[in-house]
Structure 1
């Protein structure tokens, strides 16, 4: 049995890595990223939401921290609840 916080950290790291890859792909190919997002949401025009400013470190770090913290909290809560439901101390 793992401590619930280990699952939280695992989810936080998974989210951080996933977000980093996504941000890198968007930074390299923004037009294709917007086209993919529009296709993913059945043709909604995400091009209208594209920021006028360039994507940089400042706009990367904030969401990275929020997603990582959120992943740690949600993953820990999930593991704790799972342990309780399955009768593990």
Structure 2
């Protein structure tokens, strides 16, 4: 008896890399947006968390007083989502080829 759900059993193998790419790109876009929201809501605690996350490296000297830019956010979001799409699509394609 197959353990895959019926919807996945009839999925064309060629569409799986595309579907994985879309799912990962959407995930990266969502989490990048959430990260931006947290940064805007609480920049001090966010910076403290980032410093702790990177084993005490101090990122505060990198901060420059600048206004939030929607253009910068959207361009970074598009680049990260595109990278995620291509990386996940390639991963799924390669995984299929390797068995």
Q: What aligned pairs does 1:3-82 form with structure 2 within 5 A after superposition?
A: 3=15, 4-82=17-95
Shift of 1:77: 0.1
Aligned residues: 86
Shift of 1:58: 1.9
Shift of 1:51: 2.6
Distance across 2 between alignment mates of 1:69 and 1:6: 14
Tell me which structure has the larger Cα radius of gyration.
2
Q: Runs of 5+ in structure 1 lacking a partner?
A: none
Cα RMSD (Å): 1.1
Q: TM-score, normalization: structure 2?
A: 0.81
Q: TM-score, normalization: structure 1?
A: 0.90
Q: Runs of 5+ in structure 2 lacking a partner?
A: 1-10
